[in-house]
Structure 1
Amino acid sequence: MEKSTWRAHALMLLATVLVATSFPVGAAITHGLDSVVLTFLRFSLAALIFGPIVAWRYDLPLPGWRDLVRYAVVSAFLVSFFWGMFAALRLTSALNTGTIFTFTPAIAAAVSYFLLRDRLGVAAQVALPVGFVGAIWVIFRGDPNALLALELGWGDCLFFCACIAMGCYMPMVKFLHRGEPMARMTFWTLATGAGWLLLLSLGRFGSVDWVLVPMSVYGGIVYLAVFTTLITFFIFQASTAVIGPTRVLSYTYLNPAFVLLISLGFGEPLPPVATFPGLVLIVGATFILQRTK
């Protein structure tokens, strides 16, 4: 395996840990601010921080109209996902969204097949549903009764649409990348995403009482902007160009496992023994997906 490929996998493990923290943080702050405004602040702050870094390291010329359209198309899918996530978390639980999010790798595989002709082997085709089953197993801690008690509503349908957008996002990055430094593409994706969100937020700013917004919400926005937006976007886009969108999103299956580890770090008790077979399925499926051509 080439050094760049190893680096991409190592970075994806880091990104997966960061993404695993975004669901509890997002759930904690989404009721403190309008979801569109919150996402706009997240994208804008990430772009403002990343812009000077990209300009210093790679130069940052203004893109032409064609390039701007490319970046705007990519960011439209990304904005749709994050807006959908925050809006859905007002209507459903983190458990439901975590469950639905496990469909994303399969969606990415289907989009990659039609858009990029990225055909997975038989082993990978088996690994995708195995990883999905493992993720569901961990989320419901090996309790079939908890799975059967799951109720889906409007918020869940909304988040599933958001996951379709995320499943399209990774293939679109690879499809529309034209050889520019990935950091530059990441910045313009963030900037055009902030532009989309500004248009959506114009009628909402007047209803926000900024003084009454809790400081914990502002702190959560900073965390999400830096760690689960800026850093993870760059890792996702850079890794997609190296190992492909399906393999990047297969790391999604590790999210429940990392959420469990994060919970343990905050003093939560160990999960029941029935959870561990699901962890084995997740790790096995992810390993197979990374090894297949």
Structure 2
Amino acid sequence: MNSQSPHYPRTLIHLLMLLMVALIASSFPVGALITSGLPPEVMMLIRFALAALLFAPYVFIRNGWHLPPPRRLLGYAILSIPLVVFFWCMFEALRYTSALNTGAIYTTVPAMTAVYVFFINREATGTRRASGLLLGTLGALWIVFRGDLDSLLQLDINRGDLLFTLGCLFMGTYNPLIRKFYAGEPMELMTFWVISFGALWLLLLSIPGLDQIAWRDVDSNVYLGILYLAVFTTLVSFFLLQLGTIVLGATQVAAYSFLTPVFVLIINLLLGSAVFQWQLLPGIALVLLAMLLVQQEKRFPQNA
């Protein structure tokens, strides 16, 4: 499928990417608060299905009540798979690790994306961008290990960290696949069908355990948390992610995830669930520098 970028001011898109990262970062502490309320696949099923239902009237009134061509539906189905794997891994990982750790590990996604972009989109990575990706990964490691070299050398990581890293490996394919499958359709159309297929896969995963859940015993805060995730960190953030990828390119958009641990830390401090640790500052400085390096390098032309 050929891609044709929508015409939006790049400054506006960059501001929207900051909003996107803030929303994504908020999903880690919110997810940590509700992760024990329901099985991860069931929680994500409700999240995706609710987002699709809320978005459906807007999408169909604006674009008509018809199915996309089979080839596009196949593309949307493929696009939804990395998201399902990523979010399942995230919620399962938050049972064993912290929101700050997952936020820091998420900053490895740009480096993974750069590798996938080379093979999927045939986009080269320049020296400055490669340096930024390396610095961002080092900064993420610094934050995960709190600047403790002994812990790093001993690979003091838990089951949750490993599981979320697997999810990030899948998430790294998402941005380049958007570039590959985007065919000039309205962004809201792509967003809706990707979320809908995600809900379908999650339904298939959840069916065996749905009748074993005591729905009335689930804390109301769990449902409120899922509602927040459905609207802000699913519906809104997916739309912004896809729009930014088409306009700016996969690697530049992925580079914004370098800011995720910074936003996670700020949110946790505001919620009173974390205490600022000065040893995190070098890692934060590295991820900020990494993002600037990646954003400043001009994007290489892509071969569709």
Give the TM-score, by structure 1 length: 0.92
Match of residue 182 from structure 1: 187
Deviation digits for residues 200-245 of structure 1 (CA, Å, limit 9, x no counterpart):
1111110111000110100110010011111100000110001111
Which of 38, 46, 49 is the aligned partner of 1:41? 46
Tell me if structure 1 keeps the 8 A contact 2:101–2:143. no
1:98 to 89, 93, 103: 103
5+ long unaligned stretches in structure 1? none
Q: Identify the range of structure 1 (132-141 vs 13-22) with the bigger mean alpha-carbon deviation.
A: 132-141
Match of 2:215 in 1: 210
1: CA distance between counterparts of 2:37 and 2:167?
A: 21
Query: Which residue number corresponds to residue 262 of structure 1?
Result: 267
Provide the secondary structure at the position in 2 that maps to 1:124: helix
Is the Cα contact below 8 Å between 2:48 and 2:234 reproduced in 1? yes
Deviations 1:87-118 (A, max 9, x none): 22234443443343222111110000111011
Unaligned stretches of 5+ residues in structure 2? 1-6, 299-304
Contact 2:111 2:133 in 1 (8 A): yes
Residues 189 and 155 of structure 1: CA distance in aligned 2, closer, same or farther (over 3 Å) = same
| Partner Cα separation in structure 2 for residue 8 and residue 86 of structure 1 | 29
Secondary structure in 2 matching 1:207:
coil
Change (3 A) 1:147 1:205: same
| Shift in CA distance, 184/176, structure 1 to aligned 2, threshold 3 Å | same
- Does 1:25 pair with 2:30? yes
**Residue aligning to 1:11:** 16
Aligned counterpart, 1:81: 86
Alpha-carbon distance change, 149 to 23 in structure 1, aligned in 2, over 3 angstroms:
farther
Of 42, 58, 73, which residue of structure 2 is paired with 1:68?
73
Matched-pair contact (CA < 8 Å) for 1:77–1:168:
yes
Show the 5 A alignment for 1:1-293: 4-144=9-149, 147=152, 151-267=156-272, 271-293=276-298
Note if contact 1:11-1:235 (Cα within 8 Å) is conserved in structure 2.
yes
Deviations 1:155-182 (A, max 9, x none): 4332222111100111111111111011
Matched to 1:108, the amino acid is: T
Residue correspondences, number: 292
Residue 4 of structure 2 corresponds to which residue in structure 1?
none
Equivalent AA in structure 2 for residue 198 of structure 1: L
SS at match of 2:161: helix
Percent of residue pairs bearing the same amino acid type: 46
**TM-score normalized by the length of structure 2:** 0.89
Report if aligned partners of 1:120, 1:292 keep a CA contact under 8 Å in 2.
no
Question: Residues 287 and 59 from structure 1, CA distance in 2 versus in 1: closer, same or farther, beyond 3 angstroms?
Answer: farther
Q: Structure 2 counterpart of 1:190, which letter?
A: I
Task: List structure 1 segments (4+ residues) > 6 angstroms apart after TM superposition.
Answer: none
CA distance change for structure 1 residues 139 and 151 in 2, over 3 Å: closer, same or farther? Answer: closer
Cα distance in 2 for partners of 1:153, 1:281 equals: 23
